[in-house]
Structure 1
Amino acid sequence: MIPSIELDQFVDRVMAELEKKLGSPDVSVTTESANSNAVTHSATDSGVVTIKVPQPRWEEGLAELIESTPARIGVWRTGTRPLTKEMLKFRCDHAAAIDSIYGEVNEKLLEQFGLFTVDTCYENTENYLRRPDMGRIITERGMDLIRESCKAKPQVQIVVSDGLSANAIDANLPDVYPSLLDSLTAYGLKVGTPFFVKGGRVAVMDHIGELLQPDVFVLLIGERPGLVSSKSMSAYLCYQPRKGTVESDRTVISNIHPGGTPPVEAGAYIGTLVHKMLEQKTSGIHLDL
């Protein structure tokens, strides 16, 4: 397990150690130090933006661009290479993305919310990445457990899956799930038996839909991690998902994480969408929002 420390703090510690060991800096280190110190701050309507590019020709425009996206904009360089600190941050974010894909959801979190686990036919992570179709089918043992443990034909069926980011479930489920339950309760809606699917893909909701036949299905699943966030979750909703359901019949809320759609807000909004789906008896592109 990775120690509980923010990646930015980790990079700062590494940089501090490098500066100690380098002692008498050579030309490249001197250049990087000079560039690192050439930081300016530009005021915008929503706050102050840090600009790492020394003496930019259009400071206001660069500030607006940096503020508009979490992507790596204007990180600057030393000669033809990135700054050491920026390269370290890049590698940390890349490592976090890999860990999310190959990681596992915390068992204590699943126990906290009373979620039992079933597997898809994915077999292992390497096969899961190569064969998306196998993540859409529950194993025979899993199907038996679902039939034994779950209420049939529920009004709302909630399923959680690691998908492509176990980290997203660990980071967001503690806020999303209670908020979703509160929202559904406020609308007077009844929830079936929630559970966790290991190695799931979005269309696994169709297979489970055939087994349990819910009115509305809610799938909380880890998104494909990127270099901005490895903790992004999506919520896929569908009215009466069954075999043959097409993607345009699903409604999705993506980028659920502290830097995107706030988890608590997402949970409440999912409940509102479920209510509308039951009222209109549809989902996806046919749902009137």
Structure 2
Amino acid sequence: MKEELVLDTLVDKVMAELERKLGREKTEDVAEGEDSEQEEERIAVPQPKWREGLRELLASTPARIGVWRAGTRPLTKEVLRFRRDHAAAVDAVYGEVSQSILDEFQLFAVETCFQNTENYLKRPDMGRIITDEGVSVIKQKCKQRPQVQIVVSDGLSANAIDANLRDVFPALLDSLRAYGLQWGTPFFVRGGRVACMDHIGEILQPDVFVLLIGERPGLVSAQSMSAYMCYRPRKGTVESQRTVISNIHKGGTPPIEAGAHIGTVLKKMLEQKASGVQLAI
């Protein structure tokens, strides 16, 4: 993502300035956009016994592996990257989904009883209940008893919606069209938890439900989205009755691919009248 590239550039500039002040010269130029050279840059372990194996391991995961140390402490560059990723995770939790992307897909917004971010983190139960005003708006604007109900929520990462919805949403609609499935009125829930789909299910009575929601951010990605799906969600639905596709982002499950696959899963739910552990995929 652009923000990550900018932050990487800033980290490199800080390191270059530190090296200049220490009177060191950089011994190696790393060309931007070349994967092999980027992998070499990630190999911080000096003279590894099995360089090829370490290279393959680093290429297989974005996890912090073999970051090495300076004495008993992490390398300065790794500390800066850690702080950058931690800051991105905090921003994801406290951020807000761009109004422009909601307008782009004509998603009206309702809220849960979460009140504010601090309360949202302390009281997950409040993110499962739509406000009375929100219930009234849903009843007024949404189609009742749709075959498929689509809802988007910021969850724990507003950045995940901004980063992925433009790819996931159209791909999902294309998939539903290809299978001849009809969807109701999509909308956005601010401050939603996964189980808000149960409350909405009581209101709209859909056959199947898909909630596109921001995942808890980590130090690898703060832009990961999940798609929770359920056959006829209602109050009292347990977690084993939900099906989920997680890790949807450009470094995980590709958003366009995820959108298409969600449609396939929803079709199977309708055919089998089941979801979660009872669904045969």
Cα 1:4–1:87 shift into 2, 3 Å: closer
Q: Identity over the aligned pairs, expressed in percent?
A: 70
The AA in structure 2 aligned to 1:262 is P
The AA in structure 2 aligned to 1:95 is A
Query: 1:187-244 deviations in whole A, cap 9, x for unaligned?
Result: 1111100000000000000000000000000000000000000000000000000001
User: Equivalent residue of 2:233, what SS?
Assistant: coil
The equivalences for 1:226-237 within 5 A come to 226-237=218-229
The equivalences for 1:117-196 within 5 A come to 117-196=109-188
Query: 1:52-90 deviations in whole A, cap 9, x for unaligned?
Result: 211112323323332332110011121111111111111
Unaligned 5+ residue runs, structure 2?
none
1:201 aligned residue: 193
2:61 aligned residue: 69
Distance 1:184 1:6 in 2: 37
The AA in structure 1 aligned to 2:14 is V
The AA in structure 1 aligned to 2:59 is E
Cα 1:74–1:3 shift into 2, 3 Å: closer
Query: 1:114-152 deviations in whole A, cap 9, x for unaligned?
Result: 000000000100010011000000000000000001000
The equivalences for 1:219-258 within 5 A come to 219-258=211-250
1:42 aligned residue: none
The AA in structure 2 aligned to 1:15 is M
Distance 1:248 1:176 in 2: 24
1:14 aligned residue: 14
Distance 1:76 1:127 in 2: 39
Distance 1:192 1:138 in 2: 18
Distance 1:68 1:77 in 2: 22
Distance 1:167 1:215 in 2: 29
Alpha-carbon distance, 1:105 to partner: 0.2
Alpha-carbon distance, 1:99 to partner: 0.1
User: Equivalent residue of 2:247, what SS?
Assistant: strand
User: Equivalent residue of 2:218, what SS?
Assistant: coil
2:47 aligned residue: 55
Q: Taking structure 1 as the reference length, what is the TM-score of the superposition?
A: 0.89
User: Equivalent residue of 1:6, what SS?
Assistant: helix
User: Equivalent residue of 2:57, what SS?
Assistant: helix
The AA in structure 2 aligned to 1:17 is E
User: Equivalent residue of 1:221, what SS?
Assistant: strand
Alpha-carbon distance, 1:5 to partner: 5.1
Distance 2:3 2:229 in 1: 35
The AA in structure 2 aligned to 1:178 is P
Alpha-carbon distance, 1:4 to partner: 8.2
Query: 1:222-279 deviations in whole A, cap 9, x for unaligned?
Result: 0000000000000000000000101111000000000000000000000011111111
Distance 1:7 1:231 in 2: 15
> What is the root-mean-square deviation of aligned Cα atoms in Å?
2.0
Unaligned 5+ residue runs, structure 1?
40-45
